Amino acid sequence: MSNNPVITMPDTGQESSAELAPLPSFEEVMNSLAVLDSIPPPGEPVPDDPIYCNPKIRGMRWTLNGPLETAIMVARGWDFDPDEVAEPYYQGLENGKPVWHPIAKTAITKPKVSSLQLCVEPLDLWDYNWMEVHEGHTDFDEIYDPANVLYGRLPDVAKAKAGGIDDDRQLLICCGLKRPWERGTELLVKATGAFVTVHDFVSAVHLYLMARRDDILDSMNLDWGRTRKPFLPETRLMVEWNGSKGLDVTDEAEWMDHHTRHLRKPKPYSGGIPLAHWKEMIAAAKKSAEGNARWTRPEIPWGPEDD
């Protein structure tokens, strides 16, 4: 039984479903794949990805700057279209009850699951990012003011031992800042009906992410890979889909950069051999090698790798 908090929302508008038996959780589906033989029986191939997201959610423009009623717009797909008028996820009240976009009633995953453990990249990498910044600041053998620098054992001894870091030489405080050990994502999203719907997911997760917005910003500011620092409290944040149950959080500028690449003209190829000519030569070489036991690439210098 997980000790992580469970958030369920009463107003999902979930479509009725007559399930013969309770559905497994996301983790149970993934674990069931792990116990399969590496070579499946004939006619029963193991899928590369046993669970995948509802493709419609890729068109959700999810902001992390206010309440759910103003947070999400629903577009046609992943790519940003400046001429498209996206539809609001919250569509007002009807008889005193909120009305949500039709996508709200659909399952968040296929196959449907009864629950899933949320993963949020900035939260799950918070401890790693903190250590990347602070680990070289101090020396265990030196004496420091414990309010500024403190070494000791990590609080979760069992998990620390499993990770091989269960000694008393672990950095707990540096620069007066407490290490965010065990401050990763701690949310189990459960279905309010037979399966987890899009609304089950976004309504629970939005509340959770808003409550941890400061933690997300702190982790983003510690992340060497993010170049648009500092991320201030007023930074406008966007939620990105990252796998079947994972999320990333970016600022609006990075989100727009990700979603408008299709609008940019590709740079012309500047190699020694034109790409089209290279592909023609490769195709001709393969054709001439038909019937041979082994085909080798012709010796052509400075050409790009074929796709």
Phi and psi based region of residue 92 (left: phi greater than 0; alpha: psi -120 to 50; beta: remaining): left
Between 13 and 128, the higher pLDDT residue:
128
Q: What is the pTM of this model?
A: 0.73
- Span 65-92, average pLDDT: 92
Cα torsion 143, 145, 151, 157: sign: positive
Between 63 and 183, the higher pLDDT residue:
63
Q: Please report which confidence band the pLDDT of residue 203 belongs to, taking 50, 70 and 90 as the band edges.
A: very high
Q: How far apart are CA 45 and CA 145, in angstroms?
A: 60
- Span 106-122, average pLDDT: 92
Q: Please report which confidence band the pLDDT of residue 35 belongs to, taking 50, 70 and 90 as the band edges.
A: very low
Question: Is the distance from CB of 155 to CB of 182 less than 8 angstroms?
Answer: yes
In the chain, where the domains are located = 6-120+183-263, 124-178
Mean model confidence pLDDT for the chain: 79
